[in-house]
Amino acid sequence: MRFASILLALALAACGQTTAPPAEAPEAEAPAPPALTGAFAAMSNTAMAITGDIDIQPDVLSFSKGFRVEGGRIDTALEPHTDYSAGGGTIADVTGNGGIETIELRQVTNVRIAADAAVQPLCGPGETASYVVLAKSPEVLSMLVFSGADAPGPNAHSSQLCGTFNYMPTDAQ
């Protein structure tokens, strides 16, 4: 079989044709990092008053005050010192969370409120949360909530920061 392949290559070369080199396999993209998960205790006054503690799962943020926010992760290039909107501040500046190691952007697709929950909206009266940024350092988890059509980032023009909440890892972390 190998001899036949060599003869074919020689015959093609004699006719002025060559065999095409084997196609290179496309490079595999790096897998996305695992979703941020875990239980965190409310630390800031805002978190204690509005959300309570938070339990983070890949597509759900559950709050001890009786509601949950559903929505999946969005690929993003947000970094601690990236503007969260055009002309806005940075995630590190607004949270005071200087040791951020992980940033995750989630689009809010649904908010479920328990019948007995006395929940204030995450963005205040008349505003609807559309995106959540989770920024985690070893000591603090900051949650930034945004309203508006644009995902947070340096090119966002229709995006408003409407809430900042801070949590600390529970002993189970």
How far is residue 138's CA from residue 159's CA, in Å, rounded to a whole number? 28
Is 87 part of a structural domain of the chain? yes
Q: Which domain holds residue 40?
A: 34-169
Q: Do 135 and 95 contact (CB within 8 A), yes or no?
A: yes
Assigned domain for 23 exists: no
Strands 131-136 and 141-147: antiparallel
Q: From 32, 31, 21, 152, select the one nearest 90 (Cα to Cα).
A: 152
Angle formed at CA 123 by CA 103 and CA 125, multiple of 5 degrees: 175
Q: Taking Cα atoms as reference points, which of 173, 87, 100, 105 lies closest to residue 144?
A: 105
Q: Is residue 14 part of a domain?
A: no
Tokens 């992980």 identify what position?
Answer: 102
The per-residue pLDDT string of the chain (173 residues; one tens digit each, 9 = 90 and over) reads: 444 444 444 444 555 554 544 555 555 555 566 778 999 999 999 999 999 999 999 999 999 999 999 999 988 778 888 777 766 788 888 888 878 999 899 999 998 888 877 767 788 888 899 999 999 999 999 999 999 998 888 888 888 899 999 999 996 44
Question: How confident is the model at residue 27, as a pLDDT?
Answer: 58
Q: Residue 135 falls within a domain, yes or no?
A: yes
pLDDT the model gives residue 7 = 40
Is 84 within the bounds of a domain? yes
Residue 5 domain-assigned?
Answer: no
* Residue 10 DSSP one-character state: H
User: Has residue 13 been placed in a domain?
Assistant: no
For residue 17, being part of any structural domain is answered with: no
Cβ atoms within 10 Å, residue 57:
13
**DSSP summary character for residue 153:** S
pLDDT (0 to 100) of residue 147: 92
Give the number of domains in the chain: 1
